[in-house]
Amino acid sequence: MDWKMVRRRFRIVWATAGLAFTAWVIWNMQAHGVPADIRASSSTIAVTEREGATVFLPTGVNTDHTALVFVPGGGVDPDAYLPFVRAVADAGWPAALVRLPWRMAFTDSGQIEVWQRVKDVRTSWGVSRPMVLGGHSRGGMLSALFASRYPTELSGLLLIGTTHPRDHDLSSLRIPVLKIAGTRDCVADLDASKANASKLPSHAVWTTIVGANHAQFGYYGSQLGDCRPTISRDDQQRQLREEVLRWLMESKLQ
């Protein structure tokens, strides 16, 4: 047997499998199914592209109306969250999607840049406008981090599909908090998420979407380690919107 040939073929197969896996991961983290005109302004929504953010401003809203600033999941194409953010704006709430540097913001400087983008969006609206900060997965982690650092800057905190806060005790927060989890989310496991309940204030609202997995909180493909959902993406997104909008109304954040 020609072992040199065997080793060569093994290396070729191994390299091919690695490239195929990398391509699969990259494809799945891209946005899929996002309407082409999602960034188009309309008679009721003014859309503005800023440095590192897409901003949706409903026409005719008061300058003191609460706004939502949303942070995407790590590694995910930020466009995957535009349908959710736009839907919040369509319901009458100023909303913005802040993009992560290199889609991750792992470093301290990257996190500082994300917070600066959040502040820039708020400045564009007027610093007096109340602001809810929220995010999915790593975006939820960063939102929890900023809530621990700048609690007086926020009027509410929204955490979706994340086990955070893990590293920061937010139990003394006095602002409204909503945490949303999915029963089929195997990236941000429901039990692991509940294990950190003591780090959120006692008044935090917890919502579980039955059948929801991790990836369908956005519009992108499958994610490593996630479970198969038992509801459609449209259904999961509908329930997500309803829960968030109900919380915004009931918390009197408008």
**In terms of DSSP bridges, do strands 95-98 and 67-71 run parallel, antiparallel, or are they unpaired?**
parallel
Sort residue 137 into left (φ over 0), alpha (ψ -120 to 50) or beta: left
pLDDT value for 126: 82
Place of tokens 């080793």: 7
Question: What are the pLDDT digits (tens) for 215-254?
Answer: 999 999 999 999 999 999 999 999 999 999 999 999 876 5
Domains identified in the chain and CATH numbers: 31-250 (3.40.50.1820)
Q: What angle do CA 110, 177, 124 make, to 5 degrees?
A: 50
Cα–Cα distance measured from residue 128 to residue 63, given in angstroms and rounded to the nearest whole number: 8
CA distances from 159 to 38, 49, 70, 163 (A): 23, 24, 10, 9
Cα–Cα distance measured from residue 231 to residue 224, given in angstroms and rounded to the nearest whole number: 19
pLDDT value for 13: 61
pLDDT reading at 199 higher than 80: yes
Residue 19 has φ and ψ, to the nearest 5°, of -65, -40
Cα–Cα distance measured from residue 254 to residue 250, given in angstroms and rounded to the nearest whole number: 9
Question: What are the pLDDT digits (tens) for 75-112?
Answer: 999 999 999 999 999 999 999 999 999 999 989 999 99
